[in-house]
A and B are shown apart, each in its own frame.
Chain A
């Protein structure tokens, strides 16, 4: 059997200890977008450097340049002053750079252990695996992470958070000198976030260079030493974390002050009659869930990832079967067998997992936005292009979706912009929605747009629609929702009015220890 010789030898790492990473004058264009324009910065060993910027600012593209996945149009990357030329990802790995992508790159049907190694398995010269060494190393890594995961478990059976941790282990195992994280906390629960931050601290002490991308400013202040702010593919500034503050960062990112997000919201103050009533709803994953939602009300669901919030709304929406209990919409008892029935009855669900459930990745932005309302855009037998364009334009404007044309394929958008396309789809005025369900709508969305999304939620409520808003980010649920329902382990553990809700109260209900 011919051996494909691309194995990664970590001893040969060009990026030795104590060497700085220099990104010099990097530019990269995609058709219609300048994703990066003359970006230069320097990252020092033993420091954590944050990359900050709006959706589509070019953060992920920059990391892909570092991982050898994308070739820049100009500029170079230097490690310890030595210019690096990457024709393929393997060369970046050999140079000591590991990048953890925004979208997990794992194989669900393979074991945790094999995913940690990702093909770079220890083997004899003849190519036979050293199974014992494999097991021991994997067990050691899992233990160093302080997680209880069986290395022989199939990856697909792990929770999303644990899968994300496996993705991080993959990079950790290579023991690279430079490790870049692209929004690693987007799908982690608090427990894993703590583990991750401890890990980053340790890596820092070992003198490694860490690059860290996140839209959560609190995290940036907690773990980073320096911040590079990108806007529209250009570098705005590089500053020391200790010498800056949130307002300054937001201004650099967005280009204007956005003020206090929550207090400047125009909220709805007139509640109508009851729109949705859920009584003792029980499914495979949730038990005995009851709540009421009035017209014009925003009900927030708080809780840890996996608490059963998504499952509640899926059951209401007809995506999961209901075992017992009832759902009453507009005074009528309903039991949707299929999401299509729910949509016809005026419910829209914007799902949490855009990659799996929402977007048609290889279709245009326009098709994705117009998908549920194609029926209403027919002119005889053909689709009315003008109407489609008008609708898409509205969505693009409302959410400032960064796309050069409406024809651009959704896969080619940045992560946050993909999320915005989904939001645009489900909030279009052509849908006669009475009840809008948004599951983690702000995941991966930049601060400026987040504020706009909050206002859109309030506007929907002002129009008299009911809104269910699920979020794992505590501050936003307790500040946006009129009523906050906290879930734990498939049960509702508490219901609070916005005036009474504090982070501590919600947290203790969500953990219930």
Chain B
């Protein structure tokens, strides 16, 4: 009983990730004692909230068996759009809702290529990423669009206790989507689609409908994440959000969502993975690694996650083949 409890804990992915995260903290703390200062921790929470929010939509989409590499560009365009809407003097709630709606449209365009035109999601969403990013540059004429202080910017800069508002919004969304994945029929069907498309089809589940919804959802959440970043930065810029989708994907994969389909994960694990990724990135900044090198290490981390994913998948396949004993 006791033994199996310890086993269960150590086999728990969130737990082992948390251990790794503590190790990362300790290493960076030893390298630079400023690492643990509260302000820095707030920084981690702030940056996590961007990639973390994007990770929610992306992870759900990946679990349903597809992928959206344009999530970052969608976020960027979202940030620009909200700034443009606000500049017209529009009510901020309306502006935010319109931005999210634009995110839905961007997601639906991605879904159209993948589901109706049968293009590969990897390729078509990269292409769309380039387009969305370029649109953001075009509509802003390559400059940043300022947002005046107001209730909207407080969405990005406000705090409750020590927690920044964007972080709280992300956590709330994670809880909601976590519940959706685990406690609703839709959530389970979504995961079933990702796990075995044929089985889902034979059981009468429409895979295209589900991925279309998840593409739209990913677009909407990414646009929201971009808008919140704009609120935090007091402007919407065509170069914001850069690379956040990569961190989001790294977190999702480390958290157990498989790139190769079939892997699933709880939002809790993704949350821990996200903090891990962002602690790592933040640590690199604190020890003053050149920002170009930071991109190298971030890319390296993603590669590492993919390798781990590959081995996890092949072990799973092997267990399957041998029919691990009952």
Q: Which A residues form the contact surface with B (CB < 8 A)?
A: 1-4, 6-8, 67, 69, 88-90, 93, 99, 101, 105-110, 114, 118-121, 123, 127-129, 131, 148-149, 153, 156-163, 285, 306, 353, 356-357
Contact = CB atoms under 8 A, between A and B. Distances in A.
B323 A158 contact: yes
B325 A306 contact: yes
B189 A4 contact: yes
B8 interface: no
Interface of A is mostly: loop
Nearest to B180: A1
A123 B189 CA distance: 12
A162 to B, nearest CB: 6
Given A1-B180, A4-B210, A110 B323 contact: no
10 contacts: A7-B185, A105-B196, A107-B196, A110-B264, A114-B188, A119-B192, A127-B185, A157-B319, A159-B324, A163-B323
B326 interface: yes
B95 to A, nearest CB: 25
A108 B199 contact: no
A189 to B, nearest CB: 11
A342 B170 CA distance: 54
B186 A160 contact: no
A436 to B, nearest CB: 21
A89 B323 contact: no
Nearest to A320: B322
Q: Which of A119, A120, A127, A357 has the most CB of B within 10 A?
A: A119
Nearest to B324: A157
For chain B, the bracket of interface size reads 35 or more
B320 interface: yes
A109 B191 CA distance: 10
Interface of B: 180, 183-186, 188-189, 191-192, 195-196, 198-206, 209-210, 213, 262-264, 316-317, 319-326
A107 B185 contact: no
B196 A159 contact: no
Nearest to A121: B185
B192 A109 contact: no
Contacts of B183: 128-129, 131
A162 B323 CA distance: 9
B199 A4 contact: no
B326 A159 contact: yes
Nearest to B261: A109
Nearest to A311: B322
Nearest to A2: B213
Nearest to A356: B321
B204 A121 contact: no
A287 to B, nearest CB: 15
Interface pairs A-B: 8 shortest CB-CB: A90-B204, A107-B195, A105-B199, A123-B185, A159-B323, A160-B323, A118-B203, A6-B204
A121 B188 contact: yes
B13 to A, nearest CB: 13
A162 B326 contact: yes
A89 B201 contact: yes
A69 B204 contact: no
B195 A4 contact: no
A388 B164 CA distance: 67
B186 A149 contact: no
A68 to B, nearest CB: 9
B185 A3 contact: yes
B66 to A, nearest CB: 16
B262 A4 contact: no
A1 B199 contact: no
Contacts of B204: 6, 8, 88-90, 93, 119-120
A43 B191 CA distance: 37
Contacts of A90: 203-204
A123 B184 CA distance: 7
